[in-house]
């Protein structure tokens, strides 16, 4: 390959060092013709200590990003013979089995968020990441885009990619409130109580109450009116990730009390009262969480665009969603793969990079908006509030068996191919997939 002159290198700034931003930076860093810089607000890479689930589409994106080895080292899976089970679904008041959703060859593929971030950070070359860089403003002109940080420094490059999460600072540049109104995060109406339980402790608690200890290791979802509860293993099955949800459906647009924090520590008693009357397994699970945290789950509206000339928002900055399909991190990884594939293609240049960003938006916006929308709808389904289904458990079970197929069967390589057609590229190497 002929060396690319320094002044001709495509310069890419990434704002945000979460899972999506780091995976994207790793993919770009494999190509010597790019100048890649990542800016993270925190003093170091960090993720909340919670489990995250990946569907088959997300695992496919991880593979295409060249991160499968890092992922497999830490990923959990359901034990045999349940390895294809995504979730078993059970009735709230008596734990009765309703059905199972299967993801053949993948099952409930889950990780501890912080472990996964550490695993992919290990693939990032030195000198790319910069910390203590909270973006406060974005500007651009015909030739360059600039991110300004709260420490007084700035970055100027050919393009700027906002991987900076649901509270994104980059988003307001792409979608100015004066022109588009408030497109920031809103409360979904759902609270999530979270906790981690040592697996041996939960198995003992289930057995002590006469419940099957198998319910600890095989991913479970307990469904009920305006509430649902899920469990799945993480940390090589040493811990069980627990999330218990309650949704306010008393008003079409519920609002958080003024000044309430999105995340707060609450008492176990509050959580137990929310699930009073639930079955033996649910009670055993919740009794093992002495210090739960309560999360007010926020999401974004479906945005009209992700791209404005030399600036693009991706991941949660563009399409933050509720977690009811386990799809948020997967969409960020799909974004990372598709965008990295296009930007590392030999046909991508400093002259046409704005068109590349536009092509990315054209092939991703409809899918990511649909994932947002159906994630919210899935929460309604789990909590006996889906239109036309409600608490009809027979219809609920039929829906659950196939409703995720469209999401899981997607291959982000198809998005790359569609974008290349839109750009008129007939040849080129998809370096990021190597």
3-class secondary-structure state, position 118? helix
Please check whether residue 72 is in contact with residue 47, taking contact to mean a CB–CB distance below 8 angstroms.
no
| Model pLDDT for residues 4-13, shown as the tens digit of each residue | 444 467 999 9
- Could you confirm whether domain 187-298 is CATH 3.30.9.30? yes
Element housing 397 (H / E): helix 393-402
Distant-in-sequence, close-in-space partners of 190: CB < 8 Å, separation ≥ 6:
245, 246, 247, 248, 296, 297, 322, 379
Whether residue 305 lies in the annotated active site: no
Considering only CA atoms, which of 316, 325, 272, 320 is closest in space to residue 294?
272
Q: What per-residue confidence (pLDDT) applies to 431?
A: 44
At the topology level of CATH, where does 6-76+111-184+300-433 sit? FAD/NAD(P)-binding domain (3.50.50)
Distant-in-sequence, close-in-space partners of 252: CB < 8 Å, separation ≥ 6:
none
pTM (2 d.p.): 0.94
| Model pLDDT for residues 195-224, shown as the tens digit of each residue | 999 999 999 999 999 999 999 999 999 999
Q: What per-residue confidence (pLDDT) applies to 48?
A: 72
pLDDT tens by residue, the chain, 434 residues: 444 444 467 999 999 999 999 999 999 999 998 999 999 999 999 877 678 889 999 999 999 999 999 999 988 888 889 999 999 999 999 999 999 999 998 988 888 889 999 999 999 999 999 999 999 999 999 999 999 999 999 999 999 999 999 999 999 999 999 999 999 999 999 999 999 999 999 999 999 999 999 999 999 999 999 999 999 998 888 999 999 999 999 998 999 999 999 999 999 999 999 999 999 999 999 999 999 999 999 999 999 999 999 999 999 999 999 999 999 999 999 999 999 999 999 999 999 999 999 999 999 999 999 999 999 999 999 999 999 999 999 999 999 999 999 999 999 999 999 999 999 996 544 444 43
Give the integer Cα–Cα distance in Å for 65 and 63.
5
- Crossing angle, helix 328-343 and helix 353-382, to 10 degrees? 170
Q: Which of 60, 64, 90, 194 is catalytic?
A: 194
| SS3 sequence of 250-266 | CCCCCCCCCCCCCEEEC
Query: Nearest 5 degrees, angle CA 103-CA 108-CA 114?
Result: 140
Instruction: Please name the residue ranges forming H helices in 258-327.
Output: 268-274, 280-287, 316-319
- Residue ranges per domain, the chain? 6-76+111-184+300-433, 187-298
Q: What per-residue confidence (pLDDT) applies to 426?
A: 63
């Amino acid at each position: 390959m002929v060396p690319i002159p320094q002044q001709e290198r495509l310069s890419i700034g990434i704002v945000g060092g979460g899972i999506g931003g780091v995976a994207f930076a790793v993919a770009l860093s494999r190509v010597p013709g790019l100048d890649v810089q990542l800016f993270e607000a925190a003093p170091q890479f960090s993720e909340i200590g919670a489990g995250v689930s990946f569907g088959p589409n997300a695992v496919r994106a991880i593979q295409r990003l060249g991160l499968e080895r890092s992922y497999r080292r830490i990923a959990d899976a359901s034990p045999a013979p349940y390895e294809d089970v995504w979730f078993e679904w059970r009735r709230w008041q008596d734990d009765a089995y309703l059905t199972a959703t299967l993801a053949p060859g993948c099952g409930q593929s889950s990780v501890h968020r912080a472990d996964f971030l550490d695993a992919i950070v290990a693939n990032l070359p030195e000198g790319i990441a910069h910390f203590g860089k909270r973006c406060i403003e974005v500007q651009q002109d015909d030739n360059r885009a600039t991110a300004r940080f709260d420490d007084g420094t700035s970055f100027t490059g050919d393009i700027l990619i906002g991987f900076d999460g649901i509270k994104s600072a980059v988003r307001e540049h792409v979608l100015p409130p004066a022109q588009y109104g408030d497109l920031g995060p809103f409360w979904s109406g759902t609270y999530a109580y979270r906790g981690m339980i040592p697996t041996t402790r939960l198995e003992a608690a289930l057995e002590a109450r006469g419940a099957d200890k198998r319910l600890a290791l095989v991913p479970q979802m307990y469904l009920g009116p305006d509430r649902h509860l899920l469990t799945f293993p993480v940390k090589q099955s040493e811990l069980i990730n627990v999330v218990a949800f309650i949704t306010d459906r008393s008003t079409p647009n519920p609002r958080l009390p003024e000044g309430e924090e999105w995340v707060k520590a609450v008492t176990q008693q509050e959580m137990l009262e929310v699930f009073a009357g639930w079955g033996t397994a649910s009670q055993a699970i919740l009794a093992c969480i002495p210090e739960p945290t309560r999360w007010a789950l926020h999401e974004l509206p479906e945005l009209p665009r992700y791209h404005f000339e030399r600036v693009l928002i991706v991941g949660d900055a563009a399409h933050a969603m509720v977690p009811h399909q386990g799809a948020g991190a997967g969409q960020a990884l799909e974004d990372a793969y598709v965008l990295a594939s296009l930007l590392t293609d030999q046909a991508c240049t400093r002259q046409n990079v704005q068109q590349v960003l536009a092509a990315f938006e054209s092939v991703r916006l409809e899918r990511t908006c649909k994932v947002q929308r159906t994630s919210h709808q899935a929460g309604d389904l789990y909590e006996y509030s889906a239109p036309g289904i409600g608490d009809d458990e027979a219809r609920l079970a039929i829906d659950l068996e196939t409703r995720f197929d469209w999401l899981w069967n997607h291959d982000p390589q198809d998005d790359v191919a569609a974008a290349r057609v839109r750009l008129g590229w007939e040849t080129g190497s998809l370096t990021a997939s190597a």
